[in-house]
Chain A
Amino acid sequence: MAAPTGALWRRLLRSAAVRRLCGTAAAEEPERAVVNVVFVDSAGRRVEARGRVGDNVLQLARECGVPIEGACEASLACSTCHVYVSAPHLEHLPPPCEREEDLLDTAPQLRVESRLCCQLTLLPPLEGAVFTLPRVTRNFYVDGHVPKGH
């Protein structure tokens, strides 16, 4: 499934009444299986989310009040939705496209398990997956270092 475009993204946000599953029992759409995942924000708070197969992970996070930014609105033009995917679930995700890989290169604290969650869609094997926001250390440079010119 292609990543939502900006226009689609805005429509999805506005139609929040549809498929709002966070914390509620799934009543609608029995044909789409529930997938339970966990978000861990940059302060270490855990938020349990019940999504459905096909849900966009960033949108689910936002619906559940997890503070993930999506500056470019899922159009693969920033890296503000950077998350770490729990190791056992990482391999069940389709590999990133080249553009996502290029953007991940600009994300601070890049790790092997890094993904841009606006590009991720819930699938059954993601049951129990944990998406962790990077803990950005304060003032990136530990000793107050200021980058010098050359």
Chain B
Amino acid sequence: MGPGGACWRGGGAGLRRWLSSRAPAPRICVVGSGPAGFYTAQHILKFLATGFLCSTPSCPAFLPEHHDLAQVDIYEKLPVPFGLVRFGVAPDHPEVKNVINTFTHTARSDRCAYYGNVTVGRDVTVGELQQAYHAVVLSYGAEDNRVLGIPGENLSGVYSARAFVGWYNGLPENRDLKPDLSCETALILGHGNVALDIARILLSPLDFLRKTDITDCSLAALACSKVKRVWLAGRRGPLQVAFTIKELREMINLPGTQPVLNPADFTGLENAVKDAPRPRKRLTELMIKTALEKHREKAVMAQAAVPRQWGLKFQRSPQEVLPTADGMRVRGVRMALTRLEGSGDSAKAVPTGDMEELECGLVLSSIGYRSLPLDPAVPFDTQHSIIPNNLGRVMGVPGLYCSGWVKRGPVGVIITTMNDSFDTAQSVLEDLQEGVLDVSVSKEGFGAVGSILRSRGIRPVSFSEWEKIDAAEVARGKAAGKPREKIVDPQEMLQLIGH
């Protein structure tokens, strides 16, 4: 029975043995400071710090309260922490970012340390981390994106959704994206929440964005944007959309915009979802309602000027990005019309042979993030772009674990990642308990890694140094009424803290 069970049996003795014999405290390393990294660290620390295993003093698994227990070190390649919470969550969704307070609390624990500006796989290898720590958890997420693999994909005016989101959220590697927003029609390929986020940012009244933590540079670009029509096209049908109802409703209710949904796309679907699971049913019903309502309204409003429009296009598979006459930029996308084979989540889109050209000057490919291999010492499943694992234990590499998107694929919201990270933490704790992780051998943790980094000229950023950067960003944002003005240049961040 794992941690959190009514009582640890058998293995409790092992745990108590190493605790009472003044065995060295377990040293654990987490790679990645996004939600997965922090939730994994939090769960490990909480279990080992509160005697949560069993609260009955007579039980062999009872842990005395104030015991010198695990040390968890979190490594991050950027100077600043929090991963997608900082760089992925949309600027107009600040409440989602409240979770940063939970992570800050964890980072400030005296049993947790943050080391920013350290690129694992380059500045220090996974092998070196495994030598220095009893357990290493890989939580480095998905820094790349899936590619369309169609001609014209590299034309000017075509961007990955990941890069575009990184751009307006101040991710350093995307700060020079300079997307061209001078066209009227944008086409987003994909039917997920990221696609909706981008549509919303492109069409939001500027006043909505002005007081958010969107970067100044993006705000200026959006102020000059000519984009007034955004299509979201997906290969499959309404029953396969991946976005969720809260985000769809937000888009439907976006002031100054008109949803354009074709009622014909929803024929017979009301019936089809009658017995579907609640989330799919409610989502589909909302689309149907919007399609019918707005269709009627449109007829009534007739010539009323609607400043901005957005719409969903289904069963369209992009085949080629078409160039302008000079061959330099995108002028449209040729799409294959598809039909569905099968139903539900496993339905497949099959080309019918018919084609359609959609005119547009901006294409955003929102077909999924993708993890990359980190280090030759870590097995990687290139087909699914995840680290092969069983319950978070990396296959074939004892002492190595993974959590978050790099473990399960780049899908899910905070709760998904939270549950998943707790799951991996559970595996680590079980392995500590069962002696799979040998904590009788003392490990140096950052004691060893720090020397390695110094010898390579790498100077990590501490959590309190991040808090100086944080304070500077908040101060800069104040004048403009923004929660912060993000610093987008890592060199500037380092200079600010005297590195």
Contact = CB atoms under 8 A, between A and B. Distances in A.
A105 B283 contact: yes
B454 to A, nearest CB: 36
A108 B419 contact: yes
Contacts of B96: 72, 77-78
A139 B283 contact: no
B98 A110 contact: no
Nearest to A43: B4
B202 to A, nearest CB: 22
Interface in B411-429: 411, 413-416, 418-419, 422-423, 426
A42 B3 CA distance: 11
A24 to B, nearest CB: 18
B415 A78 contact: yes
A103 interface: yes
Interface stretch (A15-23, A85-93, A121-129, A141-149): A141-149
Contact of A42 (B4, B246, B349): B4
Given A43-B6, A78-B415, A146-B409, A69 B102 contact: yes
Q: How large is the interface on A (under 10, 10 to 19, 20 to 34, 35 or more residues)?
A: 35 or more
Contacts of A139: 390-392, 423
Interface residues of B, number: 47
A117 to B, nearest CB: 14
Contact of B415 (A73, A107, A138, A146): A107
Contacts of A105: 244-246, 278-279, 282-283
Contacts of A99: 246
A101 to B, nearest CB: 7
Contact of B245 (A102, A146, A148): A102
Which of B98, B146, B249 has the largest count of A CB atoms less than 10 A from its CB?
B98
B95 A6 contact: yes
Nearest to A136: B419
A45 B46 CA distance: 16
A79 B415 contact: yes
Interface in A53-105: 67, 69, 71-73, 75-80, 82, 98-99, 101-103, 105
Contacts of B146: 149
Contacts of B419: 108, 136, 140
Given A6-B95, A139-B423, A150-B236, A71 B414 contact: yes
A72 B99 contact: yes
B93 interface: yes
15 contacts: A6-B95, A71-B415, A73-B101, A75-B95, A78-B96, A78-B99, A102-B244, A105-B283, A107-B415, A108-B416, A139-B392, A146-B384, A146-B386, A146-B409, A150-B236
Interface of A: 6, 10, 41-45, 67, 69, 71-73, 75-80, 82, 98-99, 101-103, 105-108, 110, 136, 138-140, 144, 146-150
